[in-house]
Structure 1
Amino acid sequence: MAIKTFYETTQLMTLISPKNIPDSQLFTDLPADVIAAVNHIEQAKNWQDKYRHIMLLGKQLPTLADNFKQADAQVKGCESQAWLYHHQLNGQHYYLADSDARIVKGLIAILLVANQGKTTEQINQFDVSHYFDTLGLSGQLSPSRTNGLAALANAIKLYANGVIT
């Protein structure tokens, strides 16, 4: 019997919990529908449509169980609470993340699409400002959301470079 991936498993659960999923299944590639949702954001014609797609994208990421919402996993610099976990496997980096705000959770999903399963070099070359320009999101986010997004992107790079573990 094939082992279900983290995302297939979470479709049957409302929360991600370390008691329910072995560690090896927590960090996987993102599902195709999450990646496709980011493409919808880029193609949306106006900010209201982009915002709606970001909110929907936030609903697609599974919610971390409370026992994952630890202070040491919290990303500092975000106005909302956000948690980020990292795992490296065969030179590729995988992340789990959540936020208590749906819009932030959608923005996290956008960052994960750009960085999940990438090498350290690819993550170091990632330019969050350019990426959000490409998606048509620059200038649309509040300064506090922009700062939080930068903090999340920085944490992803710090994990990839082994600065934080």
Structure 2
Amino acid sequence: MSLPAAAETVQQAFAGCPGWEQRARLLMQWGDQLAPLSEVERCEANRVNGCESSVWLLAEGKGDRWQFRASSDARLLRGLLAVLLARVNGIHQRELAQLDVTDWFGQLGLARHLSPSRSNGLQAVLIRMQQLLQASE
């Protein structure tokens, strides 16, 4: 499974970070680059259940490939969402179903710094992505 260009950019950026402080700072910078969601988009229908913080997720199909947009009220979580979106945007639905989120964050040197609740929240986002795709079929 080849990586989207945005995911390769994320990998290169995080490969240059020697420690958690630098990774956390980089995560927040990535989160700041997420396109904001409108108040209308930040509604209950777009909210991801299973996250301690508020997370909203939207999906748009482009042929057999998907683009996601997401946001959170938590700055660090916005960064985690940004690097997750870099990995999933534009991939085929089959690839999304096979994606191992823990492995992706491990490759970035972030997995061991994720609290169980953040890991569960990211898994909830991935599950919600798959639900949105299934609902569109």
- What's the TM-score, normalizing by structure 2? 0.88
Q: Which amino acid aligns with 1:143?
A: P
Q: Out of 16, 36, 41, which is 1:63 matched to?
A: 36
> 1:15 is matched with which residue?
none
Runs of 4+ in 1 over 4 A off after TM superposition: none
Which consecutive residues of structure 2, in runs of 5 or more, have no partner in the other structure? none
| Correspondence 1:110 to 2:110 | no
More helix by share: 2
Q: Which amino acid aligns with 1:46?
A: G
How many residues of Structure 1 are paired with residues of Structure 2 in the alignment? 134
Cα distance in 2 for residues equivalent to 1:92 and 1:155: 16
Q: Does 1:43 align with 2:16?
A: yes
Q: Deviations over 1:29-72 (max 9, x none)?
A: x996x863453123311111111100111101121111111101
By how many angstroms is 1:146 displaced?
A: 1.2
CA deviations over 1:102-151 (Å, ceiling 9, x no partner): 11111111111111011111111211011111111112011211111111
- What are the residue-to-residue correspondences of 1:14-53 with 2, within 5 Å? 36-53=9-26
TM-score by length of 1: 0.74
Superposition RMSD in Å: 2.2
Computing the radius of gyration over CA atoms, which structure comes out larger, 1 or 2? Answer: 1
Cα shift readout 1:52-93 (whole Å, capped 9, x = no counterpart): 100111101121111111101000111110100111121111
Task: Give the whole-Å Cα distance in 1 for the aligned partners of 2:81 and 2:21.
Answer: 19
Q: Which has the higher contact order (CA 8 A, sep 6+)?
A: 2
SS of equivalent to 2:113: coil
Verify the 8 A CA contact 2:48 2:56 in the aligned structure 1: yes
Q: Distance in 1 between matches of 2:28 and 2:8?
A: 14
2:10–2:86 CA contact under 8 A, matched in 1: no
Corresponding residue for 1:129? Answer: 102
Identity in percent:
31
